[in-house]
Amino acid sequence: ALKRFHGSSEYRREMEDIQQECFALDGEKPKKPWQLFIDRSVRWQLISVIVMTMGQQLSGINAMYFYTTYIFEQAGISVEKTPYMTLGTGGFECLAALTCGLLIDYVGRRSLIIGGYLLMALWSTVLTFSLTYQELYSWVPYVSVTSLFAFVLSFGLGPGGITNTLIAELFIQSSRPAAYMIGGTISWISFFTIGMLFPFIV
């Protein structure tokens, strides 16, 4: 599998890294989630995962999905076609996340994450103005639709495609299960918080 994934010239180095890690962790038991919080050697890795996971949920991507039907209706798309457009938005994000996987090694994780959040901020600003002034001109609702798809694309190419892979890259095998548990818990707590507070914000 490694040979097929990395190529015949690179898989041996990957195999050696895996074997070295296995030998180094021989006999070491998997860590518990609370052990990671008191382990200073993984403090910054854990902080990075928590901040990135919270940022992914608090970025507004779920709010965008919540308002897709409204935005499409304002753009003049018929009610019958709106569910298909919403489905297309999700497919667009999946395609962007897959593209992100191909670009990670060429562009770099830092550039994709920072660039993704900056583009999301830009397109959410454009979307805010287009929704505010959409009744002034007939073409403004189409700007809203374009901004929505661009926002989803920016999320998939940056935070959406990278955040979930960070844990495997930042933690060794004995710490990964606990790190995934912490990351998943933070993600769902953030999602629940957004779901409860967002109706009061808008």
For residue 5, pLDDT beyond 70: no
Q: Over the stretch 74-99, which tens digit does the pLDDT of each residue have? A: 777 777 877 888 788 888 778 887 78
Q: Which helix (H) or strand (E) holds 13?
A: helix 11-24
Q: What is the pLDDT of residue 108?
A: 82
Same domain, 21 and 50: no
Q: Which of 64-68, 127-131, 183-187 has the lowest mean pLDDT?
A: 64-68
Residue type, 19: Q
Nearest residue to 142 via CA among 87, 90, 102, 85: 85
Same domain, 52 and 111: yes
Same domain, 26 and 42: no
Tell me the chain's radius of gyration from C-alpha atoms. Answer: 21
Same domain, 105 and 17: no
Q: Over the stretch 14-31, which tens digit does the pLDDT of each residue have? A: 677 666 666 655 666 778
CA distance 156 to 28: 36
Residues 6+ apart with CB under 8 A from 114: 158
* Encoded tokens for 13: 């180095």
Residue 202 banded pLDDT, cuts 50, 70, 90: low
Q: Which of 72-76, 126-130, 142-146, 172-176 has the lowest mean pLDDT?
A: 72-76
Q: What is the pLDDT of residue 156?
A: 84
- Output the pTM of the full model: 0.76
Same domain, 1 and 62: no
Residue 12, domain extent: 1-30
Q: What is the DSSP string of 163-184?
A: HHHHHHHHS-TTTHHHHHHHHH
Q: What is the pLDDT of residue 18?
A: 66
Q: What is the pLDDT of residue 22?
A: 65
Same domain, 14 and 91: no
Burial 186-196 (b: 16+ CB within 10 A, else e): bbeebeeebee
Same domain, 111 and 180: yes
Q: What is the pLDDT of residue 27?
A: 60
Same domain, 22 and 36: no
How many structural domains comprise the chain?
2
| Exposure of 185 in the CB half-sphere (CA atoms within 13 A) | 9
Q: What is the pLDDT of residue 201?
A: 65
Q: What is the pLDDT of residue 166?
A: 82
Q: Count Cβ atoms below 10 Å from residue 144 Cβ, excluding itself.
A: 21
